[in-house]
Structure 1
């Protein structure tokens, strides 16, 4: 593992990584934490939205994948994430907690877990940062960090669905 590819990356990439990593941790915590609607939840939620907004904005200036005139499907995801954050915040303010929860979960899964997983493809910067030159144990740790939150979220949602009366 080496930080050299990240330290020499364009500023937009550095900002993106600096905002998306804490957003991944805070988002997983918020989705799994039972204290919904508390002042802590609202504070961390606002922090998460700001981080996701900054991450999405910075990704609009990353053009490593050139599908069409410097843009790629990830840029569409960035716009969808920005709009989704605005919608989810508005839903919470209206008291539509169901729409808020659904939208925030979709943003986390699509914007953090799925898009984040693609950053480890062989030709990407995060692949060079984390995977190249890593030992088998480091790769196992990476895999658990990437897929662990998804598994925990999936398990928690299944458990919640079973606990609700029909």
Structure 2
């Protein structure tokens, strides 16, 4: 295991990976910690920002790896998680902002993007040929 492939990657990929790692750890903390407290609310805002960074940076991963790539080739099947995560963040934040009875349901979209956007997409990041595979298993 070596962080060298990640540390030698373009900055957008580094930001994407480190934000994903931080969001995963923070998400686990959020699920385990007491709800409705000031720490839960504060860490929730940080988690939403991290998920937003992950979502936006994911759009630019392929062009960072392949400069000059035409726009139509920027996206692959894994970018379905980008769309899902974007909708989940907006849905969860909307429920929080509206408050009232919908407030208790804000965790549903956040749980969904934790599972889909962090766990499933995170596992896929370790497929052969990807930078995280090189980090974990070498070339």
TM-score bracket for this pair, using the shorter chain length:
0.7 to 0.9
Work out which structure has the larger RCO, using CA pairs closer than 8 Å and 6 or more positions apart in sequence: 2
Separation in 2, partners of 1:97, 1:131 = 42
1:10 paired to 2:10:
yes
Contact 2:84/2:117, CA 8 A, preserved across alignment: no
Structure 1 runs (4+) deviating above 6 angstroms are none
Separation in 1, partners of 2:26, 2:3 = 23
Q: Of the two, which has the highest radius of gyration?
A: 1
Deviation (angstroms), 1:114: 0.3
1:122 paired to 2:131:
no
Deviation (angstroms), 1:99: 2.8
Separation in 1, partners of 2:12, 2:81 = 16
TM-score calculated relative to the size of structure 1: 0.72
**Secondary structure of 2:80's match?**
helix
1:93 paired to 2:92:
no
**Secondary structure of 2:136's match?**
helix
The within-5 A match list for 1:144-159 is: none
**Secondary structure of 1:107's match?**
helix
Deviation (angstroms), 1:27: 0.7
Unmatched 5+ stretches in structure 1: 134-166
TM-score calculated relative to the size of structure 2: 0.85
**Secondary structure of 1:106's match?**
helix
